[in-house]
Amino acid sequence: MDFRNLSRKDLELWALDQGMPAFRGRQLFRWLWRPFFQDFSQVTDFPKALRLKMPGLGTFYSLRTITQEISIDGTRKWAFGLNDGQVVETVLIPGQDHNTICVSTQVGCAMGCKFCYTAQMGYVRDLAPSEMAGQVLRVIELVGPEERPRNIVFMGMGEPLANYDNLLKSLEILLDDMGLNFSSRRITVSTCGLVPKIERLGKDTNVGLAISLHAPDDQVRSKIMPINRRYPLAELIKACKQYHLSPRQRITFEYLLLGGITDRPVHARLLAKLLQGIPAKINLIPFNEIPKIGFKPPGPRDVLAFQEILRDANYTTIIRKSRGNDISAACGQLHASVEEMV
């Protein structure tokens, strides 16, 4: 049993099952999520006899750093080795006054988006809660307290809502003040459009929601995002309108500008109409060129014209600057395999 897959409440129940008081579970949880925790002998508030007994009751796994790459813009990407030999990538994006960590939720991805390099890996497996929250812990260890990330975005490898139960457990660990102690206002979960899980996420959590939209009509979206054939835009937009938002909270819509395909003024006008009635923020993402993927970036003037149309329609619209492009850490570029890391 991997203790890091368990929330504080889970560990309290585990302690009771072992004939111990519940507070032993809380004590263990606090130690498990301290940076550089390596051995049960460090749990100094356990009696010595219990510390010696712990390895026979369970274990905990830490991610192994395989590679680190640093971009000219300061973005850092790590390939982490998992316990079964698989590899997952994590990105730390620097900001003016804070850092953001981009967390992966699966090895590979089954969604098949045509513009995404991760999709070319196919689906390998889901990440466990310990492996998702563990990416955050490992990065904190690597960069130190001064560069500790303040924001978490579940936008790395994989579709977060396709790994729903493990995602919820990792969120519980990340949000716990005895765990990694992040604010729900600082966590955003992205999805390509798994409509039933969007509805559940709004009921089960109060984290931010980001929609990987990338096209304003079903015809174009179905060509580049197969999920749209299962959950077309009408269903996706309905789920967004029904999503529980706290006051001043907005849904972020990620929109990929593919040259000649999704970047025309007509697409901007369709997008403005599509999102009417939704508290929305729009992030425009000029396509980052990816090996073996035959799309082209938009022209700079096309990007600005697209933004202007949306701003004229009173949407907060931000052009996302490509970060980490030179180390393949930008949006849609994550791709890791055991063979590539050997």
Q: Would you please indicate which residues are annotated as catalytic (active-site) residues?
A: 89, 331
Contacts of 19 (CB under 8 A, 6+ apart): none
| Distance, CA of 249 to chain centre | 19
Q: Which of 268, 261, 278, 279 is nearest to 309 (CA)?
A: 268
Q: Is the Cβ–Cβ distance between 220 and 261 less than 8 Å?
A: yes
* Bridge partner list, 93: 100
Q: Is the Cβ–Cβ distance between 156 and 132 less than 8 Å?
A: no
Q: Is the Cβ–Cβ distance between 75 and 94 less than 8 Å?
A: yes
